[in-house]
Structure 1
Amino acid sequence: MLASVVFASLIVAANAHFQLQFPAPRGPFVEDDEPKFCDGHDDPASRRTFFPLSGGVISLNSEHAKWVAVVSITSKSDPTQFSDFAPVTGVLQASGEGLFCLPFDLSKTNATGLADGQNATLQIQFNGGDSDLFQCADITLSSSVTSPPCSNGTGVASASLSPAPSATRSASGSGSSGAPGGSSARTSPSSSPSPSNPPSAGERVKASIVAVVVGLLGIAAAVA
């Protein structure tokens, strides 16, 4: 289960957003719904994007000067909750506003059980310091397609990607019937692990993102 990411505040423009470019997002961008599950689009897209099993690229437009993100995936035909997804990258951190291209080779992630012709959904969890934002892309995996050309926008710095979570997770996610604690299926993921259980891959991702944002705060304070 991908845990909720809790961020310290950064000095950023209020109400900034991000827009997924490729693969195509599940529905039209709705800025007020970005904190919701899949940007408020609960149903899979009627037309899926063919996405390469290896050598793929995810592109997005960021309105934040500094931001972090995590990519998750599920092979469920109709994912309805955050716990349907499993993280397949570590914490991506980047700087600069504008178009950003993330090399995303599924064959080199910890996702398992993916095959040519299989339907899946990607979830991008993004935060520039103000709140968690979510967008989804419904895809069909293919061994014969390539991602379209993509290049970073002017002033967008090269990003770094931390190692993927060490725990191998099925691409179908945990498959629980509802969000933890009896909350709505499409509410934000749980924020903390049970003390009696070891941290999940998603919880390790959360800890890494918090560390990244705290580091950025320290840099901002030093500059000031």
Structure 2
Amino acid sequence: MTNRLLSLLAITLISMQSIALAHFTMTYPSSRGFDTLKEPLAPCGGYDTLSAQRVQMPLKSSFIQIDSGHTAYTFVVYALLKNDPVNPDFIPSNLVQVAQGGRSYPEGACLPLTFSESVQANTNVTLQVVYNGGDGLLYQCVDALLVDSAPSFDVSKCVNADGSSKETTSENPSEPTTTPNQGSSLQIAYSLTFIVAVCISFLLV
């Protein structure tokens, strides 16, 4: 009976840890880089170097496609209009919000972007996605060049897993509010949970 209870506890802890560490990926256009353990690190999920080549994105009808591990989350997308941005540049006074909302389904989601009329063609921009699934903020960035026409930009990539179009998906006005430090603390807590589960498993051998 004791071994059975320990087995159940180990399985439960591992399952909880897997759910808690659910993340998101930027699937289109591709982000600077992705690492599950670094994703809670602001401003760009641990990838602080400008991409060697910027992706061309249209000023109008532009979007970012993500894949979510959470079934419900909120997000904000910021634009940093600088040619060669570094981490200290990611401050509120420099960031322009171009998208905000929430989703109540997992997997693919198309996040439409709206740039102000003051943003002109051939402007360099770094787009920062701030994602909150309830267990800490996660970050991804993409370096882009905004243009009037971007033939290589694949509009067919804009797909919502719930079947809605990007134009009709309702937005949630609430912003992610968890601080980066909270995200890091939660990450440590989940890692400890996993270690405890592994130790219990060894006791059963």
TM-score (norm 2): 0.65
**Residue of structure 1 in register with 2:126 after alignment:** 121
1:142: which partner in 2? 147
Q: Which has the larger radius of gyration?
A: 2
Richer in helix (by share): 2
Cα separation, partners in 2 of 1:116 and 1:25, compared to 1, 3 Å: same
Give the corresponding residue for 1:47: 53
CA distance in 1, matches of 2:176, 2:144: 30
1:78 to 2:84 alignment: yes
Which ranges in structure 2 are unaligned for 5 or more consecutive residues? 1-17, 178-205
Identity of aligned residues (%): 33
Tell me if the contact between 1:73 and 1:122 (Cα under 8 Å) persists in the aligned partners. yes
Q: Kindly report which structure 2 residues correspond to 1:54-93, keeping only aligned pairs within 5 A, or say none.
A: 54-79=60-85, 80-81=87-88, 82-83=90-91, 84-89=94-99, 91-93=100-102
C-alpha distance in 1 between matches for 2:70 and 2:163:
12
Whether 1:153 aligns to 2:161 is yes
1:205 equivalent in structure 2:
none
Distance in 1, matches of 2:140 and 2:164, equals 21
Distance, in Å, in 1 between the alignment partners of 2:53 and 2:144 is: 9
Q: How does 1:94-133 map to 2 (within 5 A)?
A: 94-106=103-115, 111=116, 113-133=118-138
- 1:159, distance to aligned residue in structure 2 (A): 3.9
Corresponding letter in the other structure for 2:57: F
- The change in CA–CA distance for 1:135 and 1:210 in structure 2 (over 3 A counts) is closer
Is the 1:93–1:159 Cα contact (8 Å) retained in structure 2? no
In the superposition, relative to structure 1, how do residues 155 and 142 fare at CA in structure 2: closer, same or farther (>3 Å)? Answer: closer
- State the alpha-carbon separation in 1 of the partners of residues 127 and 162 from structure 2: 26
Match for 1:56: what amino acid? S
2:175 match: secondary structure:
helix
Provide the alpha-carbon RMSD of the alignment: 2.5
Instruction: Give the secondary structure class of the aligned counterpart of 2:44.
Output: helix
CA deviations on 1:12-66 (whole Å, 9 max, x unpaired) are 9211100011222012x10111111201011110011100001112100000000
In 2 relative to 1, CA 210–71 (structure 1 residues): closer, same or farther, beyond 3 Å? closer
